[in-house]
Amino acid sequence: MESWPPGGSGPAEAGRRLRGLHGADLAASASLLSGAGAEAGCSAPAVAAVLPAGGSGERMGVPTPKQFCPILERPLISYTLQALERVSWIKDIVVAVTGENMEAMKYIIQRYQHKGISLVESGVTRHRSIFNGLKALAEDQPNCRLSKPEVVIIHDAVRPFVEEDVLFKVVTAAKEHGAAGAIRPLVSTVISPSVDGCLDHSLERVRHRASEMPQAFLFDVIYEAYQQCSDYDLEFGTECLHLALKYCHIKAKLIEGSPDLWKVTYKRDLYAAESIIKERISQQICVVMDTKEDEEHVGHRLKEMLKNELNHVKVTSGRDLQQIILEQCYNFVCVNVMTSDFEETQKLLNMLEESNLSILYPVVVISVQFLDYESVPFGQKMGNLMQIREFAKEVKKTNILLYGLLVYYPQDEQKLQESLRQGATIIAALIKERNSGLIGQLLVA
Ligand SMILES: Nc1ccn([C@@H]2O[C@H](COP(=O)(O)OP(=O)(O)OP(=O)(O)O)[C@@H](O)[C@H]2O)c(=O)n1
Ligand SMILES: O=C(CO)[C@H](O)[C@H](O)COP(=O)(O)O
């Protein structure tokens, strides 16, 4: 059985999971859930999640249902699954998809190595899809391989940025109150039009909230509500918390959620989601050198320049590459001062390929060479460096984006400073943009 509070597995995983959880919240919730014994790692409530993913995404206005739209070449739903499956105390995840998309969903699970996912057929409305997911978890179903959880999380497949802390809060609150859901302040005021298209009345914005996801329920409460509810509710309802109130008299606890919980609905939301993901995977850059670092070293100076250029980003040295890969750093700058080939870059690429790091996100590798006209003739240098195109094509197959950067290395200190600054700007742009159209290019600073 999983230990509670969450985060009881391997150190790297645990570190990742616990980010964003606050000690006081954890302690309070742990004791709330289980009485004494929080410090000893007491038993967790059995928690499962149901993800409705059977919609057609009409408002998105593209033929592909939005949950399958690619973001950095990976379907949106895979990000949501990733966010839920990394939470160790969620035992089962049930995804409701249309029969038509069942095979595509199976492929996504296999391709991105998702674990603990069960599929059920969705219904013609969101409520019906959720009900199908709940049925799969209920005890009274024949041939059911899933076990009935104490608490069930309901979360839209198209809300990829759900964090463990909000899941933890809704589950904890559901255990106490029977139901709980994330809310956000309203962005716009809600008004009611009359039949003639004129304003009937408007709501006082500060007194209302937008209901978001995730929501969590005692399983028996929400299952009972779905069993009791009318066809009208199943057809036109949009709020699970409302069903718990209407049919089980449960007043849901409302939990303040983060702005990233919004539901991907329109095309612009895909662009926003892509930007958030790019931003998140660009927070750490590992600089690998082909020589020992010292302060005067041109590679070291480039690294310092990079730190100045990206002052919110963690720039580390690649001394322990295995560890850095394990910590999920997605950006590598391979600085070649002593050599003018790709030996070091190739070693790094091999390690990355073996690690499978790039299964979920594109990994950027920038191979930096210095151009000193006085020691190596330009033509000879270029001849070597053009091989980068072939390497780049090869590693692109495993989702590694390889770029080349040639930094001019003049004797004049001021000019050198300028080309290092330019190099750092190019590196920052390549990492931020992750443009697969530019792979294999040799950019010059
Ligand atoms: N019959 C349906 C309809 C919706 N959903 C899911 O419910 C979530 C939230 O619904 P919504 O944003 O409305 O999705 P769509 O119905 O696909 O979008 P639209 O209303 O624009 O058509 C989505 O993950 C969607 O796939 C579902 O499982 N089954
Ligand atoms: O925001 C929500 C919480 O209640 C639901 O995600 C929303 O109601 C889904 O409804 P629709 O399918 O109409 O977008």
Residue 97 maps to which CATH number?
3.90.550.10
Is ligand 2 within 6 A of the CB of residue 263?
Answer: yes
Is ligand 2 within 6 A of the CB of residue 260?
Answer: no
Q: Is residue 11 part of a domain?
A: no
Ligand 2 atom 9: the closest Cα is on which residue? 238
Contact 395, 350 (CB under 8 A): no
Which pair of structure tokens corresponds to residue 155? 């979360």
The answer to whether residues 224 and 339 belong to one domain is: no
Distances from the Cα of 270 to the Cαs of 76, 97, 112, 147, 160, in angstroms? 9, 20, 20, 35, 11
- The tens digit of pLDDT for each residue in 362-390 reads 999 999 998 876 666 777 777 777 889 99
Ligand 2 atom 1: the closest Cα is on which residue? 212
The answer to whether residues 302 and 431 belong to one domain is: yes
Ligand 2 atom 2: the closest Cα is on which residue? 212
The answer to whether residues 321 and 395 belong to one domain is: yes
The answer to whether residues 294 and 327 belong to one domain is: yes
> Which atom of ligand 1 has the smallest separation from the CA of 123?
1
Q: Is residue 66 part of a domain?
A: yes
> Which atom of ligand 2 has the smallest separation from the CA of 265?
14
Nearest to 156 by CA among 176, 182, 174: 182
Q: What is the mean pLDDT of the chain?
A: 88
The answer to whether residues 252 and 307 belong to one domain is: no
Residue 363 belongs to domain with CATH number: 3.40.50.360
Phi, psi of 152 (to 5 degrees): -120, 135
pLDDT at 105 over 50: yes
pLDDT, residue 140, reads 63
Q: Is residue 39 part of a domain?
A: no
Burial class (CB in 10 A: 0-12, 13-18, 19+), 294: exposed
Residues 340, 292: Cα–Cα separation, whole Å: 16
The answer to whether residues 258 and 173 belong to one domain is: yes
The answer to whether residues 390 and 305 belong to one domain is: yes
State in Å: Cα 16 to ligand 2 middle: 29
The answer to whether residues 415 and 326 belong to one domain is: yes
Q: Is residue 12 part of a domain?
A: no
Domain tally, the chain? 2
pLDDT, residue 144, reads 67
State in Å: Cα 293 to ligand 1 middle: 54
Overall pTM > 0.95: no
The answer to whether residues 90 and 151 belong to one domain is: yes
pLDDT, residue 417, reads 93
Is ligand 2 within 6 A of the CB of residue 213?
Answer: yes
> Which atom of ligand 1 has the smallest separation from the CA of 125?
1
Q: Is residue 242 part of a domain?
A: yes
Q: Is residue 38 part of a domain?
A: no
Which pair of structure tokens corresponds to residue 112? 């991105």
The ipTM, to two decimals, is: 0.95
The answer to whether residues 169 and 124 belong to one domain is: yes
State in Å: Cα 125 to ligand 2 middle: 11
Q: Give the helix/strand (H/E) hosting 221.
A: helix 219-228
State in Å: Cα 426 to ligand 1 middle: 40
Q: Is residue 31 part of a domain?
A: no
Phi, psi of 49 (to 5 degrees): -130, 145
Range of the domain at 295: 285-444
